[in-house]
Amino acid sequence: MLNIVLFGPPGSGKGTQSEKIIEHYGLTHFSTGDMLRAELAAETELGLRAKSIMEKGELVPDDIIIGMIRKRITGQKDARGFIFDGFPRTVAQAEALDKLLDELGMQINVMLGLEVDRQELIDRLLKRGNEQGRSDDNLETIENRIRVYEDQTSPVMGYYQGQGKYRGVDGIGSIEDIFSRLSGIIDNL
Ligand code: AMP
């Protein structure tokens, strides 16, 4: 099995590159952001709890996120592998993921980190806000999401570095160029 964590700040291209990786390697996608947006659209209790947190660009509590992943991952034993996109976003989530995978006899093979500078992230997210109308892609929320990433999420990189699994990739360039940097690493695992 090939289990990948695709890592990087908001706007670094995780969603776009996940699609390419899924298409090429046949992996199952776990995007906690997409799951939360689906809960929100269906107006579930969880979605209603998450709504104001997401609008502010804060993190949804770890127990909710871990519960969502747990529910979806069990029963996926025949998958060729998983790609985690936007998760884990805290060290507690990373520890819970390791524990969950361990219970299932699996592990993370690699964390691929998309490295993009701050101004480029803001420019990309403002553009996406105009094109896709995502309500959290406005300047105030974008700046908070980047701050939350720096404070709470960037330590997750150290967690995987400690396991020798982190590989950083230049996240600037064409979609194809970035994909070929990522697949170069995956193919050599
Ligand atoms: P994303 O689409 O990954 O940028 O996620 C959008 C928003 O959903 C984030 O700004 C958070 O409010 C929430 N969210 C998504 N994934 C997580 C996670 N793993 N932990 C906590 N909050 C999350």
Three-state secondary structure readout of 26-44: CCEEEEHHHHHHHHHHCCC
Q: Does some domain include residue 129?
A: yes
Residue 80 among the catalytic residues? no
The first and second tokens of residue 32, run together, are: 């906690």
- Give the residue with greater pLDDT, 76 vs 117: 117
Does residue 168 lie within any of the structural domains? Answer: yes
Number of domains in the chain: 1
Beta-bridge partners for 110: 4
Query: Which CATH number covers residue 165?
Result: 3.40.50.300
Atom nearest to 88 CA in ligand 1: 19
Examine the pLDDT at 117 and tell me if it is beyond 80: yes
Ligand 1 pocket, residue 32 CB under 6 Å: yes
Decide: 87 in ligand 1 pocket, CB within 6 A.
Answer: yes
Q: Is the CB of 113 under 6 A from ligand 1?
A: no
Mean pLDDT, residues 85-96 taken together: 98
Crossing angle of helices 139-148 and 45-56, rounded to 10° = 100
Q: Is 185 part of any domain?
A: no
* Ligand 1 centroid distance, CA of 157 (Å): 17
Whether 14 lines ligand 1, by a CB cut-off of 6 Å, is no
Q: What is the model's pLDDT at position 83?
A: 98
Q: Is residue 189 part of a domain?
A: no
What's the domain range around 160? 2-179
23 vs 30: CA distance, rounded Å: 14
CA dihedral 15, 172, 130, 62 (to 10 degrees): 40
Is pLDDT of 174 > 90? yes
What is the pTM for the complete model shown? 0.96
Residue 186 included in any domain:
no
Q: Does any domain span residue 165?
A: yes
Q: Is residue 15 part of a domain?
A: yes
Query: What whole-number distance in Å separates Cα of residue 166 and Cα of residue 185?
Result: 11
DSSP character string of 87-105: ---SHHHHHHHHHHHHHTT
Q: Could you tell me the pLDDT band of residue 75, with boundaries at 50, 70 and 90?
A: confident
Does pLDDT of 77 surpass 80? no
54 Cα: distance to centroid of ligand 1 (angstroms):
7
